[in-house]
Structure 1
Amino acid sequence: MLNRARTQLLLLALLFFFSALFLVWILNLRFEAGDVYPAYSSFRVDPQGCKALYESLERIPCVQVERNSKSLKYLAVDKPLNKKRIVLLAGMGPLELDQTLKSGWLRDYLHAGGHVLLALKPHLERSFMWEMESDSDAEVEVPAEEEQPTEEEKTAPTESCAAGQPLPDWYFRSDFEPSREQPAQPHTAKLGADISLAETQSWHSGLFFHSYSEHWRPVYEIEAGTVCMEWIQGEGRLIALSDAYFLSNESLWKDKQTDFLIWLLGNCSVVVFDETHLGVVSKTHISDLVFRYRFQGIVVGFLLLGVLFLWKNGSPLIPPSDHGREQVKSVGRDVTSGLVNMLKRSIPKEEILGACFQEWEKTVPAYHKKSQVEKVRCIVEAENERSWKDRDTRKAYHRIQQIISKRRVTR
């Protein structure tokens, strides 16, 4: 019976073990496919990811590639800029772009001499804004003067961002092209700066930038406006790119623009792929501390001790003996029998009468006469003077019992 219970416990443990292995295998398949990560993540391996660029840069000996999954506000503090470093924020939306341009970490990072590349995701924003615009056209008539920013608005930044705080010098706005007859067709972006790049680029996004300061240098432009521009102040460098397609795995496979990518990265020896703006944020848990300080063996040891403790309490290691149980039941007696057995083991037979008299004399009741006590003493002494062969302890005990049973009658 006990062996059967142990076998069942072992089979149950093996079932849980192989189930956990199967679950880990399924999760690894999902993570290797990359579809669990958002678009333009450096962990993603499908056409919408940036893992090909990440692994390509890793193969260059003089370039160090990193991933950032912590808050960006610690970027300039935790890692001093002793080397030229660029942070890639690929696949940003309009809301993330606006928050990043107004953030304090970007200001500190640029002032410290860091480089930042802001690349917006084109296709998702295109479909979202296309549906939003079609709904608004059907319900609300938009005034003509608000449909497209004027030339002055494209070059003049807004005075303040919130509560009287001035906008930073690098702040700009993004918008979608007004012409949408063929939104799926790529645009032709023309070079607008004196840079050794291709005169035209195939642009897959209808997003463009406006309302930027004169410190920005337009690099590529479409008919609607600027789609790639550069801001430089001191050693800090900020690049705005309305199409993150050039960083994707699909672009490196179908239409690799090597010269353009080299210009985007500049002379930086450290390239950081940021994941926080995509929602991939690492948090410190107990499991992270265990792996960081290599406490896996201690944890496994405690788990084994817990399993052994439960096993010991569930079923004893030594099987119970039926013979032992019967023996325990037969040994049990009442208090008088136990006292007699104790006296037999501790007091010899020939000395039992004298030992009883000594204990009785210490607590003799008051109603016994002194003559009775003396008579009892005489009987005990006479019995002790005999040899142990001639002694009759039972007869002497009966004589003593007859003497002490006669109580003094009080008047």
Structure 2
Amino acid sequence: MNLLRRWFPLLLAAGLVVAACGWLFRLRLGGGDLYPPYSSMRADALGTRALYEALEQMPGLQVARDHRPLERLAARPRLVVLAGLEWQTWRQLPAGELAALNAAAASGARVVLAFRADLLREDRDDRGRMVDPDETEEERAERRKQEKRDEARAQRRRPGVKPRQRTTLAEAWGVTMQQRWLLSRQPGAQRTPEAETTLPAEVAWKSDLYFTPADAAGWRVLYRRAGEPVLMEKAVGRGSLVLLSDAFCLSNEGVHLSRATDLLAWLVGNQRQVVFLEGPLGVLEETGVGHLARRYGLHGALALCVLLGLLYAWRQAVAFIPPVEILERGGEVALAYEPTAGFTALLRRSVDRAALLAACVAEWRRGRRVGITPAAAARLEAVWKQRDPREPLATTYNALVRALKPR
């Protein structure tokens, strides 16, 4: 009872801490701020969860998330949404990702690429990496040469691995992205004469990013801001590619404050499936053993394996079956393996079997005879002198033990 009173406050405090941590984790997970911006699992202003759940409630429309890398995008007719992309990193893309997007559009899908609004500055290189604004042209050229030398050295170390080929959007789709102040009397983006009249005449727009399509690239400009294209569409096979320089209209804040329902309905079109790609945002699919166990419901099998491991460890530490030879001493059961087993093995290697009993008597004579009366000691000496060397050692040992017992 005293032990329970002593440990109860500590256990109570530990339980409260665990409950508070669980509540905080559930609160953050429910809010979605653990996920990257414009993720369909994020519920704050920077997420797209409102659009995802609104499309889920539409009859006849199937909505899902894809957590795989972009190169594994399936090619079938549907609406593919990639929201919140960084335009600096999308000026050049691996050839495999561009091929996946083109294949999806050619199969009849509408691929929507919505870029996030960014600060008006050029602080990244052509690969989207941060650069020092105070870096001179000579230093930048030397840094690029060093990077090429490092890449060549790494390639020599891995001769069987080919570097990923990167392609610019200007080469693949005939469009470039730029950013500058888009000053206009109208804050939003205005519909162009090329667009359908069912689209809203003006859409709220927060980004200064704009596109520059090539003349023969086949892009159709639907919205402009300050005279610059900010929303375009290009037909690819049976589908199309749609570029938005601002993902505000897809975000939770845009759906709540400046909902462009007609534009969202035009994006969906006649598609019956909608998929939000989470892989390009960094929310990739797990491929470990734990993920496979959760997917196929192997929780019970895993718990059984843990239980079997614990039982095996217990079996190795504790002997369930008693040893064959059990020695009873003073009413206690002594196992075959005793603390004096090492000393016994040493005696067996050092003392001859025939001289063992004589060595024991000699050690008894030199030792302290605590609790032994002089009469018992005299009886033991008499038995030892009258022993027959031809008798078994056990017989002589039993006679010596009987001589020491009080009478």
- Normalised to the residue count of structure 2, the TM-score between the two structures is 0.61
Does structure 1 retain, via aligned residues, the 8 Å contact 2:94–2:166? no
User: Residue 326 of structure 1 corresponds to which residue in structure 2?
Assistant: 330
- The partner residue of 1:56 within 54, 57, 63 is 54
In structure 2, the gaps of 5 or more residues are: 126-131, 138-164, 322-326, 337-355, 358-390, 399-407
1:382 maps to none
Task: Name 1:191's counterpart in structure 2.
Answer: 192
Give the structure with the larger helix fraction: 1
Q: Is the 8 A contact 2:82 2:277 kept in 1?
A: yes
Question: Any gaps of 5 or more consecutive residues in structure 1?
Answer: 141-161, 343-411
SS in 1 for 2:248: helix
Matched, 1:92 2:85: yes
Q: How much does 1:96 deviate?
A: 3.6
What SS does the corresponding residue of 2:394 show, helix, strand or coil? helix
Equivalence map 1:7-46=2 (5 Å):
23-46=21-44
In the alignment, what sits opposite 1:222? 225
Task: Give the secondary-structure state (helix, strand or coil) at the position aligned to 1:95.
Answer: coil
Corresponding residue to 2:114 among 107, 110, 119: 119
1:139-150 aligned within 5 A: none
SS state at 2:266 partner = helix
Q: Percent identity?
A: 30
Cα distance in 2 between the residues matched to 1:171 and 1:306: 61
Cα offset, 1:340, TM superposition: 8.0
What residue in structure 2 maps to residue 338 of structure 1?
394
1:238 is matched with which residue: 238, 241, 254?
241
Whole-Å Cα distance in 2 between the matches of residues 303 and 67 of structure 1?
33
Residues 153-176 of structure 1, C-alpha deviations (whole Å, 9 max, x = no match): xxxxxxxxx899995562311111
Between stretches 235-244 and 93-102, larger displacement belongs to 93-102
In structure 1, what residue type is equivalent to 2:102? R
Quick one: distance in 1 between partners of 2:66 and 2:236?
Answer: 24
- 1:192·1:218 contact (CA, 8 Å) conserved in 2? no
CA contact (8 A) 1:69 1:275 kept: yes
Structure-2 separation of matches of 1:163 and 1:48:
30
In the other structure, the counterpart of 1:390 is none
Aligned pairs for 1:3-402 (under 5 A) are 23-76=21-74, 81=76, 84-100=77-93, 103-122=98-117, 125-126=118-119, 170-178=173-181, 186-195=187-196, 196-214=198-216, 215-307=218-310, 324-327=328-331, 336-338=392-394
User: 1:97 corresponds to which letter in structure 2?
Assistant: W
Residues 101 and 171 of structure 1 are in contact (CA less than 8 Å); yes or no, is this contact kept in structure 2?
Answer: no
The Cα RMSD (Å) is 4.7
CA distance in 2, matches of 1:165, 1:95: 11
**CA distance change for structure 1 residues 13 and 282 in 2, over 3 Å: closer, same or farther?**
farther
Contact 1:208 1:224 in 2 (8 A): no
SS at match of 1:219: strand
Q: 1:177 offset after TM fit, Å?
A: 2.7
1:172 touches 1:213 (CA, 8 Å); kept in 2?
no
Counterpart contact for 1:189–1:203, Cα < 8 Å = no
> How many correspondences in the alignment?
303
- Summarize deviations over 1:102-122 as a string: whole Å, max 9, x none: 522122222222220010101
Q: 1:73 to 1:11 in 2, by over 3 A?
A: farther
